[in-house]
Amino acid sequence: MKSRASMFTLLMAVGGLVSTSATAAPPAPAAELRPAAAPAAPSAAFRPGAVASSKETRRKPTEVLPSVVDFLNASFETGTLVNWQFDEGSADVVVVPKNPPDACTQPDMPSDGNFMACMSTGNFYGGAANGGVRTDLTSGPIEFEFKPGNIKISFDVDFQSEESPTSIGHNDAFEARLVTAAGTFPIVQIDTFGRTEPGRGLKVEGFEELAGTLPGCAIKGFRTGMLRVTWSKPFSSVMRTLIARGPVFVEFSVTNQGDDQKTSIACVDNIVIKVTKPE
């Protein structure tokens, strides 16, 4: 009997029904099923449409603003040509007041204040042009507080001539230049064919076509009317070294080509010079 009981117990243990030594522990309960938690909201740095943090924002370089050069008598408001240079024996240049109105340039000029400078290729204003064909007017020395990365020059001008439009061989002209230690830079030329085409830093406002001079003007021919000329020139590091802090000069000229029989005039005003530090 004892051997049969032992055999029965062994068979039951192999079948997994009972343990030979103790009752088996019940299996662990299955993990409780819970709804999945909602994903965490993305941080502002990654949320669509959100502004990135300061470390991730690309900052634009600080814009370098131009500064106006304090140039004495830039618009001839002293009523004189102080701080301007010309050869008194070889130039026909004078300061013209707003009142009484000038018969050749009214009502647009003078464009800034009460005075403008006018010059001629002959003796229209009571002087004597060089050889009867040319007058030059040059500013006093212009200096800067730093080596300029860019120079911008603006002015108003009205050019008039007794020559016929598109006069080959008699192409009277007005010219403006910037004179520096690094060389002379042409700004604009206005002549019987019109004016220098805008571009490469040059902008000319107000020009439409050459028109007839005013009835009361002693010049009988054509005029441009008042033009606003703006010219900008950037300088490389080599050029900045040569130009340094100046001086530079702004120069205006009127020239008679071919002969001295017909007169041309030009009046200038509202001269503004701006410089920008190199970036």
Query: What is the per-residue pLDDT across 230-278, written as a single tens digit (0 to 9) for each?
Result: 999 999 999 999 999 999 999 999 999 988 889 999 999 999 999 999 8
Domains and CATH numbers, the chain: 67-276 (2.60.120.260)
Rg (CA), the chain: 43
According to the model, what pLDDT value does residue 9 have?
A: 46
pTM above 0.85, yes or no: no
Q: Would you list the DSSP string of 36-78?
A: PPPPPPPPTTTSTTPPPPTTTSPPPPPP---EE---TTTT-TT
* Residue pair 156/112 in contact by the 8 Å Cβ criterion: yes
State how far the alpha carbon of 74 is from the alpha carbons of 71, 80, 157, 180, 198, in Å: 6, 11, 14, 18, 24
d(CA 187, CA 150): 14
According to the model, what pLDDT value does residue 132 have?
A: 92
According to the model, what pLDDT value does residue 260 have?
A: 87
* Residue pair 269/156 in contact by the 8 Å Cβ criterion: yes
Q: Residue ranges of the chain with pLDDT lower than 70? A: 1-64
Query: What is the per-residue pLDDT across 147-165, written as a single tens digit (0 to 9) for each?
Result: 999 999 999 999 999 999 9
